[in-house]
Chain A
Amino acid sequence: MTVTTATPPVSRAPAPKRRAGRSRIDWSQPVVYVVALAVVAVAIGPVIYVFISGFRTNPDFFTDPAGLPNPWTVENYARVLGDSSFWNQVLASTVTALGTTIGVMLLGVMAAFVIARYEFRGRGLLYALFTTGLLFPLTISILPLTVLLRQMNLFGNWWGLIIPQVAFALPLTIIILTPFLRAIPVELEDAALVDGASRVGFFWRILLPLSMPGLMTVGVLAFVGSWNAYLLPLFVLQAGGAGIDNYTLPLGVQFYSTAYGQDTTGVLAYTALAMLPAILFFTLAERRIVGGLQGAVKG
């Protein structure tokens, strides 16, 4: 498993050192840019449309749905930003995403540690148990899961999101982390044991810091997954009777769009602001996200 392969070969400047084949690359270069830019335009066009149209008034929007704002107004954005529900939903998304991330990282690395570095009967079985989890996605178990959560009093509150999300993220986490932990040299462990550390001490003080890159990848994937989740919040929070102030952001946006459907530009502004954290987070953690997905597939 090569989780770190993603590090992009950053090509700065026209790299003077390629003579062979240069002429061949050069004539096709414009074509490549045109194709790449076309794909980029399609990819971010709708997103830009949402952000810009958030600055329009509704009468303006309905006169020319595809036009530019005339006049520009910040009223929609100001209204959403002044709405306490919006901020409560940001808080809900943040808390549940952080809780999920911490839970997955902690439980995942502990389990992966045992699977990677202990010899015992049933180890293969344990690993297989977790990997079969990939066959049981949330979609399949959502109905019985909600019944279960209701019986456990986890219905309608954030724990009902966090705990199942941790559980469903465990298989991929363990699949990514196990080879990572196995790759840490045995000599290190021997040295730690000779110095009087216990196996558990070795885990906390040496293995954990060393496996940070893998853990970060796993954590970022869990965070994004939780931040964007819809199906589970739909059942646990919306059907569970939590108030809109306890909704996560996707649920809140969806609620706003059904409740105030006539206010199209208001919905667009709300949607734009809900997109913003994901985009910001992505620009910060792009390598981890891309690398994690590529690593997971390559494994």
Chain B
Amino acid sequence: MSAIDTTGPAVSAGPAPAPDTKRRNRARAGQRREIALFVGPAVIVYVVFVLLPVLLAAYYSFFNWNGLGPLDRFIGLDNYVRLLTDPVFHTSVFNNFFIIVLSLLIQGPIAILVALLMNRRLRFRGLLRALIFVPYVLSEVTAGLAWQILLQSVPPTRWGPFDTMLQAIGIQDPPAWLADPNVVMWTMFGILTWKYLGLAIILMLAGLAGVPEELYEAASLDGAGWWKTQWYITVPLLGPTIRIWAFLSIIGSLQLFDMVWIVTGGGPLNASSTMAVYMVKYGLNVSQIGFGSAVAVVLFFISLFIALGYQRFALRRDLEGSLTGGERK
């Protein structure tokens, strides 16, 4: 411990008056100045631009306000009533959960399987891994525009690039990927899987790197086959990674915006709207800042509720270890 640092515990321990209080006080003041100097800028920027807007959202949500004029039309809970009774908002919430559930049920298992297969000595492993990861690195805008063109309906025959490719392999009558309200969310899920599967695989591979090799040797000595070894040894040990991936996936799905906004704009007929898309539509297009803020507050509470619940029941074990600096009991 450094000379200054030793004053730390004494300070926080409180009462016991030290013999040379004066010097200690000066050191304490110096330290306080350093702390303020170093942490101050970050705290100011963070509080003003991250925390304050959340409070403002809660406040604005009680007003009918376009974001420009005086903030004087207090309407109580009207925004919330309007929001919670709007069928389009119901569709939006449903769509968020649709993506969550499909991601967990389909993306997760695929990612785990691919990672298990790739978790061995392979030639070009680094290259394969990098290529799988490419969609994640692209911006949602460029990726979304690419898919919009691939899946579009080209006028005379209505078959776009993707349809033509499917027809070449014998699928004659593919659905209208983006124009059919019953299909569009499945399409959206497909695009999101394309975009985020690479991340899931990379995370799973990282988790697998932490599984000690001796376990495999022991299992193979006991005569367990590859599948058995994976199912009984690897997958359980991958638990923490899977739970954290699932958490990130859920939170990401709740905030889903960019991809939908670029590819469909929430259409057709709001069939692919999400909570964030719904909020931006009101906030950006018609400047209903008060109403949009109410959407943000609802989105926040849904996310918070899910995040806390998830942490309580699924993540607790994993976090205990990391918060105590890896001293697992």
Q: Does the CB pair B57–A121 fall under 8 Å? A: no
Taking A62-B155, A119-B12, A126-B39 as known contacts, 8 extra A-B pairs with beta carbons closer than 8 A to each other, sorted by chain A number, are A111-B39, A118-B5, A143-B67, A174-B42, A253-B145, A267-B149, A268-B149, A282-B137
A36 and B42: CB pair below 8 A?
no
The answer to whether B11 touches A119 (Cβ under 8 A) is: yes
Partner of A137, one of B154, B161, B255: B255
- Stretch in A21-29, A70-78, A80-88, A211-219 touching the partner: A21-29
Instruction: Return the contact of A36 from the options B121, B128, B156, B258 (Cβ within 8 A).
Output: B128
Asked if A140 and B35 sit within 8 Å, CB to CB, the answer is: no
DSSP class of B's interface residues: helix, strand, loop or mixed? Answer: helix
Is B175 an interface residue when CB atoms closer than 8 A count as contact?
Answer: no
Say whether B181 faces chain A, with CB atoms less than 8 Å apart.
no
Shortest beta-carbon distance from A118 to chain B in Å:
6
Instruction: Given A8-B129, A120-B35, A190-B2, answer yes or no on A43-B198 (Cβ-Cβ < 8 Å).
Output: yes
B202 touches A136 (CB 8 A): no
Please tell me which one of the listed residues B130, B292, B303 contacts residue A283 in the complex, with CB atoms under 8 A apart: B130
Question: Interface residues of A: mostly helix, strand, loop or mixed?
Answer: helix
Question: Cβ of A92 < 8 Å from any Cβ of B?
Answer: no
| B51:A136 contact, CB within 8 angstroms | yes
> Contact string, A242-267, partner B, CB cutoff 8 A, digits 1/0?
00000001110110010000001001
- Contact: B142 with A143, CB < 8 Å? no
A–B complex contacts, Cβ < 8 Å, 10 sampled: A66-B165, A111-B38, A120-B31, A141-B57, A147-B289, A167-B46, A179-B325, A193-B2, A228-B139, A293-B203
- In the assembled complex, B312 has its CB within 8 A of some CB on chain A: no
Smallest Cβ-Cβ distance to B298: which chain A residue:
A140
Task: Say yes or no: A224 contacts B137, CB within 8 Å.
Answer: yes
Minimal Cβ-Cβ distance residue in A for B36: A114
A107, chain B: closest CB distance, angstroms: 4
In the complex, what's the smallest C-beta–C-beta distance from A190 to chain B, in angstroms? 6
Report how far A37 CA is from B140 CA in the complex, Å: 24
Q: Does A60 have its Cβ within 8 Å of any Cβ on chain B?
A: no
Q: Please provide the chain B residues from 46 to 63 with a CB less than 8 Å away from any CB of chain A in the complex.
A: 46, 48-54, 56-57, 60
Contact of A120 with B38 at beta-carbon distance under 8 Å, contacts A164-B49, A297-B203, A297-B245 already known = no
Residue B118 interfacial (CB < 8 Å): yes
Set of chain B residues within 8 Å of A251, measured between Cβ atoms: 141
A107 near B42 (CB under 8 angstroms)? yes
**Which residues of chain B come closer than 8 Å to A144, judged between CB atoms?**
52-54, 56-57, 60, 289, 293, 296
Q: How far is it, in angstroms, between the C-alpha of A79 and the C-alpha of B300 when the chains are bound?
A: 44
Question: Which residues of B come within 8 Å of A, CB atoms?
Answer: 1-5, 8-9, 11-12, 31-32, 34-35, 38-39, 41-43, 45-46, 48-54, 56-57, 60, 67, 114, 117-118, 120-123, 125-126, 128-135, 137-143, 145-150, 154-156, 159-165, 168, 194, 197-199, 201-203, 206, 209-210, 217, 220, 226, 241, 244-245, 248, 251, 255, 257-258, 261-262, 276, 279-280, 283-284, 289, 292-293, 296, 299-300, 303-304, 307, 322, 325
Produce 1/0 per residue, A27-71, CB < 8 A to B. 011011101110110111011011001000000001011110000
Q: In the complex the two chains form, is A119's CB within 8 Å of B296's CB?
A: no
Q: How far is the CA of A179 from the CA of B199 in the complex (A)?
A: 24
Q: Is A95 close to B, CB under 8 A?
A: no
Q: Please give the distance in Å from B71's CB to the nearest CB on chain A.
A: 10
CA distance A130 to B44 in the complex (A): 11
